[in-house]
């Protein structure tokens, strides 16, 4: 489990000549009772791993769609403790890697060491913390490492090259390349300098580079996938599930992972 499970899952997909696709869903949006079924559905659609958001009252990196999903989850009474307990309840049946995306405050309140230990117990493989700067990460990085949980770093286009190289060297499991300037949310186009940015990260990372933020279509996923190893899709997946469009979720994932897709 942990870093190894992410690496193995990604290698398996890449060996099958597939682009990597990591969908994001908000834990508790629609109720925690559907979480197991939803994770299994995404795995069957071809997800290489699943990013699971923890609802938080001040989600500074999230756009409107994910903010609204977080509010729905909080109104359902979703807590970090409840999410870990739920994941623990079906971890032995689960084969797809689970990556938690949470802000620092819930971890701090929970207790860093207890959080890392309980994540391992629940079968969590990786952690993303968007509001924790690289300079202040040591106190949690050590606990995650002790429990073999991948600490996945985010890289931003606005960062200087030296910082991007350092993040690429530090990250575990994969490098999360933020492909826009701003918060999450579906966009119709990406900035022209994204290509050079992704290529720079690829040249300096020993693990896969995945582009996220603003990816909402098969064409975008295929286009970005030309310059990195795959994509992370959040807002579009959350929106489709909320509107009951599960077949469109399946089409988005299957079209994005295929190397035979013809761009229209």
Catalytic machinery residues? 51, 62
Q: How far is CA 263 from CA 77, 83, 221, 251, 256, in A?
A: 42, 38, 11, 14, 11
Distance, in Å, from the CA atom of 14 to the CA atom of 46, rounded to the nearest integer, reads 12
Q: Is the dihedral of CA 228, 232, 235, 238 positive or negative?
A: positive
> What is the rounded distance in angstroms from the CA atom of residue 33 to the CA atom of residue 50?
17
Compute how many other C-beta atoms are within 10 angstroms of the C-beta atom of residue 226.
10
Helix (H) or strand (E) holding 141, with range, is: helix 138-146
Pairing of strands 154-156, 230-233: unpaired
């Amino acid at each position: 489990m942990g870093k190894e499970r992410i690496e193995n899952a990604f290698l398996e997909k890449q060996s099958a000549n597939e682009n990597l696709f990591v969908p994001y869903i908000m834990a508790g949006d629609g109720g925690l009772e559907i979480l197991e079924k939803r994770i299994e559905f995404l795995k069957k659609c071809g997800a290489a791993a699943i990013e699971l958001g923890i609802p938080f009252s001040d989600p500074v990196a999230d756009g409107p769609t994910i903010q609204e999903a977080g509010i729905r989850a909080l109104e359902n009474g979703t807590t970090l403790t409840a999410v870990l307990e739920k994941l623990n309840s079906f971890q032995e049946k689960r084969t797809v890697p689970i990556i938690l995306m949470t802000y620092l405050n819930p971890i701090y309140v929970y207790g860093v060491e207890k959080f890392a230990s309980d994540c391992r117990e629940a079968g969590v493989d990786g952690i993303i913390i968007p509001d924790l700067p690289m300079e202040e990460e040591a106190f949690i990085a050590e606990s995650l490492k002790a429990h073999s949980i991948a600490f996945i770093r985010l890289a931003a286009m606005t960062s200087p090259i030296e910082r991007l190289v350092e993040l690429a060297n530090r990250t575990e499991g994969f490098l999360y390349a933020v492909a826009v300037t701003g918060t999450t949310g579906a966009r119709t186009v990406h900035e022209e300098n994204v290509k050079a940015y992704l290529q720079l990260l690829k040249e300096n990372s020993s693990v896969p580079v995945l582009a996220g933020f603003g990816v909402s279509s098969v064409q975008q996923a295929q286009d970005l996938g030309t310059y990195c190893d795959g994509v992370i899709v959040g807002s579009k997946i959350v929106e489709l599930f909320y509107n009951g469009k599960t077949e469109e979720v399946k089409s988005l994932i299957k079209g994005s992972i295929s190397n035979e897709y013809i761009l229209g």
